[in-house]
Amino acid sequence: MLKCREVYEIASDYIDGDLGRWARIQMRLHLAMCRHCSRLVRQLEYGRRIVREEAGSTVIESASTARSELLATYDARYAAPSGSGVEPPAHED
Amino acid sequence: MLEEQDELVVRLRSGDRHAFRQLVDALHPRLLRFVNRLCPPPSVAEEVVQDTWHVVIDRLHTFRGDSRLSTWIFQIATHRARTRAVREGRYAATLLESWDHADPGGDGGLSRFDSRGRWVAPPAGWPPDDPEASAMHQQALARISEVIDQLPEAQRAVVLLRDVEGLDTREVSTILGLSPANVRVLLHRGRHRVRSELEAVWTGRESC
Ligand SMILES: [Zn+2]
């Protein structure tokens, strides 16, 4: 039987499903019988969800020119004719 | 999936700007929100990410496909973010060498248990069955951003990459240059710290 202290040490791996089969079975046995450790696991799972909810919904506005500048840099490096690579075509249309 | 990625890399190297644009659209917002938590404010984070893309464009030919392309790009971004943070005087330069030293102490976990491994201060009686439906959840949400920002740097990076960006332990270990075991330890510490701060919100007590 796992001790509560041991459960504490592996609880994070447990909620990721990263434990081996034997440890997982031991963990389930312990959780079925221990109210404290069951709470611990539910709190960790909730913590993981709320971190994702908050940080994952963060949107940082990017300067509108950033994307076009990157595309231009990419084109200059890969798409332009070999040589200096920055000459525009002589005629448009 | 790897074949798909190989094909993408070939297209990127052959000047397929549509492929490049798709890559930027998919990754840019994620890189920005991640870097902003390592190296704020947003104006600096944006420079770092822009810088990252320039490195990606420059070094596409050196990408060997040992990891996923997105992992490789996150790795570059993390390195640039740390270099920049050091330059801004946010971290001591020696920390750049290893993330291990950037993680002071443990989680205080041992003091929670008696000599026979039983709880001394067991977790309090939260969360309820459907915590997201509770008014306390809004308070917890209001607090969580600060909690993340106060995590030690290495824990913060691991928590964000694993729990927000959804990368697996191996990818995170590549990105941060840490062993998978270390990544798991840092994740354990970060999550327990988050848990203890949330406990303070849910119970109205000081965290310990
Ligand atoms: Zn227990």
ipTM of the complex: 0.89
Q: How far apart, in Å, are the Cα atoms of B2 and each of B9, B60, B68?
A: 10, 16, 8
Per-residue pLDDT band for B205 (boundaries 50, 70, 90) equals: confident
* pLDDT tens-digit map of B155-185: 999 999 999 999 999 999 999 999 999 999 9
- Please report, for chain A, the start and end positions of each structural domain, with discontinuous segments joined by +: 4-78
Identify the sign of the CA torsion B4, B10, B14, B19.
Answer: positive
User: A78 and B188: CB-CB below 8 Å?
Assistant: no
Q: What is the pLDDT of residue B104?
A: 53
Please report, to the nearest 10 degrees, the dihedral formed by the alpha carbons of residues B109, B111, B116, B120 taken in order: -100
* pLDDT tens-digit map of A16-39: 999 999 999 999 999 999 999 999
Q: Which domains does chain B have, with CATH numbers?
A: 2-87 (1.10.1740.10), 99-206 (1.10.10.10)
Q: For residue A75, give the DSSP letter.
A: I
Residue B47 has pLDDT above 50, yes or no: yes
Which among B37, B117, B127 is the nearest to A4, CB-wise? B117
A47 Cβ contact partners less than 8 Å away, ≥ 6 residues apart: B191, B194, B195, B198
Count of helix runs (H) and strand runs (E) in chain B: 8, 0
Give which of A8, A31, A68, A75 to mutate to test B binding, by max B Cβ within 10 Å: A8
CA distance B91 to chain A (A): 23
Contact indicator for B194, B107 with CB cutoff of 8 Å: no
